[in-house]
Each structure stands twice: as C-alpha cells, then as structure tokens.
Amino acid sequence: MNRNVTKSLLDTPPLLMLAPMQGLTNRVLRQWFIEHVAPDMVFTEFIRVQTRSRKRVTRSDLAEVNSHKGETPLVVQMIGHGEEPLCEAAEGLQLAGAGHLNLNLGCPYGRMQTGATGGELLREPLKLAALLRKLRAQIKVDFSIKCRAGYADPRQIFELLPIFADAGVDWLILHPRTVVQRYAGEADHQLTAEVAAICPMPLIANGDINDVATGLKLLQIPGISGLMLGRGALADPFLFRRLREGNSELPSEAERSAQLRGYIGDLLPGYLEQFCGERQSLMKLKDLLNFIPDLSRQRLLGKLKRAQSLEKFGRLLQEI
C-alpha cells in the first residue's frame, strides 16, 4: 500500500475500520475480520517504540508488519515518545513495508518507564507540535493520528486541530473522551459533530459505536469520513456487515449462537500456531470473551472462561 492508495480510499467514504486493541487485535483476529466481514482498514496492536535500544522496533513487531498479506490496508500504530526514537522507528517500519503509520495520542495508560506516551503527550502541546513536524518529515507514507479529545479538557481538541494540520497529518481518528476519563461515562459524539464541522482533514469517529443506529447517525454528520469499531466489533463482528447494509435488525438467538460458535471456533487453529501452545491460546481466547457481553449467555460464557483445556473449551463452545 502506498500513500496514493490510502488517499483514494479516503476519497470514497464511508470507511469502516477495525480499531487497534492491545492484546486483542493480533494478526489471527485481524485476518478473521478481513475474511468474514471485510473492514476497509485494519490496525496493528501497539508497536512500542524502544527508547533505550538501538533497535527501536522489536523483531516480533517487524514480523507482524511483514506477515500482513492481501489487499486490505494494514495501519501500523506506534506508541512512544521522543523525536529521535519515534523517527527512527518510523524509518524502520517503512523499510519493513509499512504503507501507513499512525501515532497513538489516546491511550489513557500512556507512560513508559522512560517517559510519557499515548494520551500523556497531550499534556505538552508545544512539544507535541515539534514532534509531529519531525515525524512528518520522516514519514513518506500516510500519517494519521488516533487521539482523545484532550488530556483533561474535552475542548482541547480545538487547540490541537491546527497543530495537526500544520504538521501535515493526513487524517484523524477522534475518540471523544478525555485521557483522564479513561473509559468512564459515554463518548460525547456531539463533540465529534462540532469537530467534524471545522476539521481541516478527514475525520474518523471512534468510541462507543456498538450498534447500527449509533453508527448510521454518526455517518450522517457532515465531515465524518468513516467509523472505527473497537469493543463493539469484538462483541459483534457482524456489526460491520449490518452497517454496510444499513440493517438495524439484530440476528435471532439461533443466528447469534451460530455466529459466535463460528467466530470463536475459527480462531482456535490460528491461535494455537501464533501463541505456541494450549495455555497461551486459551488465555487469548478468554481475553476476547471478556468483550462479549451477551446477557443471555453469561452462564455459558463464564464456563468457557473457566475451562482449563482446549478440549473442554471446544465442547462448551458448542453449547452457546
């Protein structure tokens, strides 16, 4: 993927993107989404930029970039701090084949031992502006930002927009909570609409998009170029399909059960290969189950979370 390809995608909204979720959106899960519900873009989990190592990006993270095949664009999300480490990481990722780079300015747990990362970077806008200018000079492919509305003040986003535009950021993903809110309360999509009215670059809405009605309402806002689905997609991956169809009808109980069995069951072989063994694979599957909040299936989901073998897990899965 090159910069022109991504620009042509952004010229034909609405786009539906699978969000980066640390510990969850690994390459096996991303591939399942690509094959079954076809998001327009998928994101890596965090690529943590190393500040104390000459190798700014780990070998396993570079392999994650190299492993991506097919036409669906893979967006590589960096999290880190410091102009030199981030610029060197960006150079290395581009050499490894990354066609699009994204900087995380939203993670509410954004601090490494060596300094502030993620949403913490919003606390110092002047330093952030200098960092973004240096990064833009280094990045020859598309460069986007995933951002909270502000560190403590949700209106900070209106001070950040000119900084992003002046740095040459290509497009913006907005999660309308503050960093200090973490995931409390509700995403303020009235704020998203205010930002969309003046945003000088394509804007992707993110945060609490858990049903078709919410997604379609956001897509009706002038200036919104697409949606990024995170927790809502993990709970119900077929939300992508219903959004494309404009279909707000929920699946029947039987259809939902069949979808969940297929979704979770299909991941088993790939997880066994990627995570080197039964115990690790089970842990990853159980992490995913935490994002499936079906009230009518809580008893069975609880049994799945307590399963101590894949054989037991597989048998219980058939009861969903």
142 and 273 belong to one structural domain: no
Give the chain's domain count: 2
Please state the rounded mean pLDDT for residues 235-255.
Answer: 95
Examine the pLDDT at 73 and tell me if it is beyond 90.
Answer: yes
On the question of pLDDT at 8 being above 70, the answer is no
Examine the pLDDT at 161 and tell me if it is beyond 60.
yes
259 and 236: one domain? no
What does the pLDDT read at residue 7? 61
Q: In the structure, what pLDDT confidence band is assigned to residue 249 with cuts at 50, 70 and 90?
A: very high
Residue 144 vs residues 6, 257, 260, 281, 294: alpha-carbon distances, Å: 11, 37, 33, 32, 34
Domain end position, chosen among 195, 213, 245: 245
Q: Alpha helix (H) ranges present in the chain?
A: 3-10, 27-36, 59-66, 83-95, 125-138, 157-167, 189-198, 212-219, 231-235, 239-245, 253-274, 278-289, 298-306, 310-317
User: Domain of 267?
Assistant: 253-317
The residue-averaged pLDDT of 272-286 equals: 92
Question: Residue 83 in contact with residue 131, Cβ under 8 Å?
Answer: yes
d(CA 243, CA 219): 10
The residues with which 100 forms a beta bridge, in sequence order, are 142
**Same domain as 261, residue 208:** no
Model confidence pTM above 0.95: no
Non-local CB neighbours of 100 within 8 Å, separated by 6+ positions: 1, 3, 6, 41, 73, 74, 75, 76, 141, 142, 143, 144
Same domain, 9 and 48: yes
pLDDT digits (tens, 9 = 90+) for 217-240: 999 999 999 999 999 999 999 999
pLDDT band for 110, please (50, 70, 90 cuts). Answer: low
- Shared domain for 183 and 132, answered yes or no, is yes
The answer to whether 41 touches 15, Cβ cutoff 8 Å, is yes
**Bigger pLDDT: 248 or 10?**
248
Q: How far apart are CA 207 and CA 314, in angstroms?
A: 32
Instruction: Provide the pLDDT confidence category of residue 304 given band limits of 50, 70 and 90.
Output: very high
pLDDT at residue 262 greater than cutoff 50: yes
Domain boundary among 245, 269, 303: 245
